[in-house]
Chain A
Amino acid sequence: MIEFNRVKKVYPNGTVALEDISFEVGDGEFVFIVGASGAGKSTMAKLLLREEKVTSGHLTVGQMHLDNMPDRVVPYYRRKIGMVFQDFRLFPNKTVYENVAFAMQCIGEPKKNIRRRVPSLLEVVGLEDKLKSFPDELSGGEQQRVALARAIANNPDMIIADEPTGNIDPQKSMEIMNLLVKINSVHKKTVLVVTHEKTLVDYFKKRVITISDGRVVGDHRGGMYG
């Protein structure tokens, strides 16, 4: 599914964010990517989204080679990825329903399909009774659940969650993480969670890839943080 092959990323200002990164993630895997802030975790997410290009080495997702992907293909590639951010990034002037529907509208999904699918997506994240609420009427945890529903709206192959619990209180964090595990196991999506929350990582006993100073320093299945 995902293959990092001797990937190096140097930013234009000379900062070396990632150095000689090699690992593979198989279809349907659940992986935590952990490390201190500044270790290069977010750069990894940016490379996977093709927001940044690798400086050298190869990055392959599915059949797609991200290192020489033409710009016009990028939107179609991104439809295969559901992205979840620390700051939710919901449209504040759209309701919960509209936020999820918009993701489908963006890629030209017919209205009929949108009307049918959005309620079931919101059911998956347990927000079926908040259709008409606006993001600022919801708690952080609820907002992140809307973002999760949006991330899976277009039936992506993979979910990338960049610090998804960073702005949420601890007991709600567990709910979000449970949802991600559910999306992984029930909906068969590959899930990558970038985080530095030790308790959560230790609790779920999934594969953990540890990054430090731009290098992979640990890769353990059923592993623990650090």
Chain B
Amino acid sequence: MRSYSITYFIAEALKGLWRNGVMSLASIAVLVSCLIVLGAFSSLVANINYNLDEIGAVNQIVAFIDPDTSDEDILALRDSIAAMDNVSAVRYISREEAYQSEKEKYSEYPELFAKLEGDNPYTASLVITFADIDRLVNLEQALGEEESIYKVSKRTDIAATIESFKQTVILIATWFMILLLVVSVFVIINTIKLAVFSRRQEISIMRYIGATSGFIMVPFIIEGVIIGLLSGGAAYGIIRAAYGYAARSVSEQLSFLSVMPFDSIGWYLLGAFLGIGLLCGVVGSLISMRRYLDA
């Protein structure tokens, strides 16, 4: 019964990492940078999606009513819109209500409204909740035919802007990551090559004794695995801390945006980081050991 000691392999791998400390650190640093970029961009994209969903959930458009329209006509219009296809609710906001609501919203600046006293610049509006965003165009068309509606504001414009911003972010992130991953693999290849080089005499003795390529290579592959896993762990820790900081400053300064709780993406990030780290480590080791596969 043959038995190979895992402790031997791990001990050899750790010795290798220690002997080429600077290169090992360099490999870890580059891989960590790469994973941080990946983590930052994917958190950004996840949060964009999260906010898009919130905007989408509202499913509302606002029809502003011509100021010359009488209250009666507005109520009649409200009823006719409520009967339209794809409309699930219509809420009437009178000029007075609009004024009060804005006044409350900017309660920190009462002087703004003091100047307006007796003169209400707001128009009445109908907030229309629709059921299906895909048939929104038809609804807009129908609303456009109503003479007493002078403007329809829809939030889908914002959604489209955010969506295109998201696409740009994904594109940049993808290229950046590919570049960094390639660099990481190269640095790992170099690190393992140095480890192999510093042990070339041992390797030649092992060959004469009859050690298989597998036996000779395993410590170097473990070395790559350790680099990968350490990088993944470190990147996760850094992203976690940075996310908390970013979330706090966003909710303080950009309060209209919502920030996803870290826990809902944390596990995915950790999994992806460890997975990519592992893959880079193993691929790097295998490439640098390639020529030692010959007898």
Contacts and interface: CB of A to CB of B under 8 A. Distances in A.
B209 A107 contact: yes
Given A75-B207, A102-B209, A110-B3, 17 more contacts: A49-B208, A50-B295, A71-B295, A72-B212, A75-B211, A75-B295, A77-B210, A78-B207, A89-B205, A89-B208, A91-B205, A105-B5, A108-B3, A108-B215, A109-B2, A150-B209, A154-B210
B2 A107 contact: yes
B205 A107 contact: no
Chain A interface main SS type? helix
A74 interface: yes
B205 A78 contact: no
Interface of B: 1-5, 8, 201-202, 204-213, 215, 294-295
Given A105-B8, A106-B215, A108-B2, A91 B202 contact: yes
Nearest to A90: B205
B8 A74 contact: no
Contacts of A106: 206, 209-211, 215
Nearest to A112: B3
12 contacts: A75-B207, A75-B211, A75-B212, A76-B210, A76-B212, A78-B209, A89-B201, A106-B210, A107-B209, A107-B210, A150-B209, A154-B210
A159 interface: no
Interface in A115-166: 150, 154
Contacts of B205: 89, 91
B1 A75 contact: no
A74 B215 contact: no
Contacts of B207: 75, 78
A111 B5 contact: yes
A224 interface: no
Nearest to B211: A106
A206 to B, nearest CB: 24
Interface of A: 49-50, 71-72, 74-79, 81, 83, 89, 91, 102-103, 105-111, 150, 154
**Residue picked from B202, B207, B209, most chain A C-beta under 10 Å:** B209
A81 B210 CA distance: 9
A9 to B, nearest CB: 17
B201 to A, nearest CB: 7
Contacts of B202: 91
A112 to B, nearest CB: 9
Contact of B295 (A74, A79, A103, A107): A74
**Residue picked from B3, B204, B205, B206, most chain A C-beta under 10 Å:** B205
Contact of A83 (B8, B208, B295): B208
Nearest to A83: B208
A75 B213 CA distance: 8
Nearest to A50: B295
B2 A78 contact: no
Given A50-B295, A71-B294, A111 B3 contact: yes
In order of increasing CB-CB distance, the 8 nearest A-B pairs are A108-B2, A79-B210, A74-B295, A78-B210, A106-B211, A71-B295, A75-B212, A103-B209
A153 B294 CA distance: 25
Contacts of B213: 72, 75
**Residue picked from B8, B204, B210, most chain A C-beta under 10 Å:** B210
A199 to B, nearest CB: 28
B179 to A, nearest CB: 36
